[in-house]
C-alpha cells in the first residue's frame, strides 16, 4: 500500500525514532509499503518516520533514478536499527532533495567516507563501507531517524530553493511536479 509522506513542518519528522524491538509480520508489511511508496515517488530512500512510523527503520538504493540522473547505483538495502561511523573529516557539498520537502533542493555537506550497518529483514547483520553519493544517501536517511531534515544541514541558505528556479533548464523540475 502506498502511504502518505509527511511534509517538513510536521512535528513527527522531528522525533528521535524508537528502536525496532521485534522483526514480525507487521514490520515486514511496513517495509513492503515503504518500498511501494518509494517506487511510486521515485525516491532514492525513505525512512519510517516519513510515513509517520516512529521506528528506526530505513530503505534506500536504486540502479538508476530519474531524480538523480548522474548518481552512481546504490545497492537496494533495508536496515533496521542502523548505525553510522564517520571515517573521515572530509566533507563534500552535494545537492539533496527529500520526499518530505517536495520540489526543492539544497546544497548539503556530508562526510565522504563512512561505515554503516544494521539488522536486515531476515535478522542477520550487515556492515558496509560507503563513499560519495552512497554515503550521502545513507546519512540523509539516518538523519531522518534522529529527527533531522536536510535543510537543517545546509550551511549556505542561498543554495536552497525550488528546483525550477535553481535549475531552470533541467527536466528535474517537471519530474518532481508530477509526484
Ligand atoms: Ni529525506
**What does the alpha-carbon distance between residue 130 and residue 87 come to, in Å, rounded to a whole number?**
10
Q: Which three cell numbers stand for residue 110?
A: 556530508
Name the band, by pLDDT with cuts 50, 70 and 90, for residue 173.
Answer: low
Whether the per-residue pLDDT at 171 is higher than 80: the answer is no
Range in 6-15, 34-43, 47-56, 168-177 with the lowest mean pLDDT: 168-177
**What does the alpha-carbon distance between residue 55 and residue 104 come to, in Å, rounded to a whole number?**
26
Average pLDDT taken over every residue of the chain: 94
Q: Which residue bears the cell 517537471?
A: 174
What is the structure's pLDDT at 31?
Answer: 98
How far, in Å, is the centroid of ligand 1 from the Cα of 168? 23
What is the structure's pLDDT at 179?
Answer: 42
How far, in Å, is the centroid of ligand 1 from the Cα of 141? 6
pTM: 0.94
Task: Encode pLDDT of 80-106 as tens digits.
Answer: 999 999 999 999 999 999 999 999 999
- Residues 138 and 104: beta-carbon distance below 8 Å: no
Neighbours of 51 (CB within 10 A): 20
Q: Which residue bears the cell 530519474?
A: 66
How far, in Å, is the centroid of ligand 1 from the Cα of 43? 9
Nearest to 59 by CA among 69, 67, 70, 51: 51
Largest interatomic CA distance in the chain? 47
Task: Encode pLDDT of 41-87 as tens digits.
Answer: 999 999 999 999 999 999 999 988 888 888 889 999 999 999 999 99
What is the structure's pLDDT at 71?
Answer: 87
Cα of 167 vs its chain's centroid, Å: 21
**What does the alpha-carbon distance between residue 136 and residue 133 come to, in Å, rounded to a whole number?**
5
Nearest to 5 by CA among 144, 174, 157, 154: 144
Report DSSP letters for 54-88, one per residue. Answer: -BSEEEEEES--TTSTTPPPEEEEEEEEEEEEE--
3-state SS, one letter per residue, for 101-114 = CCCEEEEEEEECEE
- Residues 126 and 67: beta-carbon distance below 8 Å: no
What is the structure's pLDDT at 140?
Answer: 98
Whether the per-residue pLDDT at 177 is higher than 90: the answer is no
How far, in Å, is the centroid of ligand 1 from the Cα of 130? 18
What is the set of active-site residues? 141
The mean per-residue pLDDT over the stretch 96-124 comes to 97
Amino acid at each position: 500500500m502506498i502511504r502518505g509522506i509527511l511534509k517538513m513542518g510536521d512535528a513527527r519528522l522531528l522525533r528521535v525514532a524508537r528502536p525496532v524491538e521485534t522483526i514480525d509480520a507487521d514490520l515486514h508489511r511496513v517495509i513492503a509499503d515503504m518500498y511501494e511508496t518509494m517506487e511510486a515517488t521515485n525516491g532514492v530512500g525513505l525512512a519510517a518516520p516519513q510515513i509517520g512510523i516512529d521506528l528506526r527503520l530505513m530503505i534506500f538504493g536504486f540502479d538508476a533514478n530519474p531524480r538523480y540522473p548522474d548518481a552512481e547505483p546504490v545497492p537496494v538495502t533495508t536496515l533496521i536499527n542502523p548505525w553510522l561511523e564517520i571515517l573521515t573529516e572530509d566533507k563534500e557539498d552535494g545537492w539533496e532533495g527529500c520526499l518530505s520537502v517536495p520540489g526543492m533542493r539544497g546544497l548539503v555537506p556530508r562526510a565522504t567516507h563512512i561505515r554503516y550497518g544494521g539488522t536486515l529483514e531476515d535478522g542477520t547483520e550487515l556492515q558496509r563501507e560507503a563513499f560519495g553519493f552512497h554515503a550521502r544517501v545513507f546519512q540523509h536517511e539516518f538523519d531522518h531517524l534522529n529527527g533531522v531534515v536536510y535543510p537543517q544541514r545546509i550551511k549556505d541558505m542561498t543554495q536552497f530553493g525550488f528546483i525550477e528556479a535553481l535549475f531552470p533548464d533541467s527536466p528535474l523540475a517537471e519530474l518532481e511536479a508530477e509526484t
